[in-house]
A = this chain, B = another copy of it.
């Protein structure tokens, strides 16, 4: 296939490296420096023998060409600016963000819209290198059209980088969102690894209330999701969540895309979520001050 990837953060580079082995890949970035480096050196991933050649372009100057699939890997707050651009007609768009705030804007999009959940661990090393820190898969579901979806997934899928089809995008995304909404802000606030959600009984007590509120807002089953949160926190007990990492590195977190979305969907007050949104913003502000 001819694949375009918008954004070259950790997930963008990981996708480019794995998909670039079998497909023609164009990567669209914001910075000239990153574009030049990608064109000169290709993309490197520790799990792949040698650098993979791709073509890089500046997102601002270059029209998005004719692609069989456009994968959008920018952070959620940059999606609006992508949607303002002229997107090629009929090309399926695959969105790989955390959170769900962007999905509402995509429901009526004329192009086929797909959303994906990335269950890989990936750590960006620099502008063209990524570490594949956790082997996983990418689940894909359609938001507005199933046309060709299974054929696309079939083309992307490889044993060492699997893609799976999911029937229900809402169920797929809310399921991920609940886990993120419990694990991310609490590990960020207490500055602990994922396992503390289970092993510190007081954090667990707070986590339970956060999960209960999130399930109430998204109309999901608390019993099922709470078990899943605990299972995932245990399975990833030694990992730092992305929000914990963002705070450590003095970066803006995705708290508004995650907990903010859940708050916005709820008809009633969710005091634990309100507390956490303010608390994470408070820490973002403290970290800025300390930088």
Contacts and interface: CB of A to CB of B under 8 A. Distances in A.
Contact of A206 (B200, B205, B278): B278
Interface string A188-206: 0110100010001111011
Copies of the chain in the assembly: 2
Interface in A262-278: 271-272, 274-275, 278
Interface in A243-282: 271-272, 274-275, 278-279, 281-282
A282 B272 CA distance: 16
B192 A286 contact: yes
A238 to B, nearest CB: 15
A202 B271 contact: no
B271 A190 contact: no
Interface of A: 189-190, 192, 196, 200-203, 205-206, 209, 271-272, 274-275, 278-279, 281-283, 285-286
A274 B209 CA distance: 10
A285 B200 CA distance: 7
Contacts of A201: 285
Contacts of A274: 209
A81 B285 CA distance: 45
B285 A206 contact: no
A189 B203 CA distance: 13
Given A190-B279, A190-B282, 10 more contacts: A190-B286, A200-B282, A200-B285, A201-B285, A202-B285, A203-B282, A206-B275, A206-B278, A209-B271, A275-B275
B271 A206 contact: no
Nearest to A210: B275
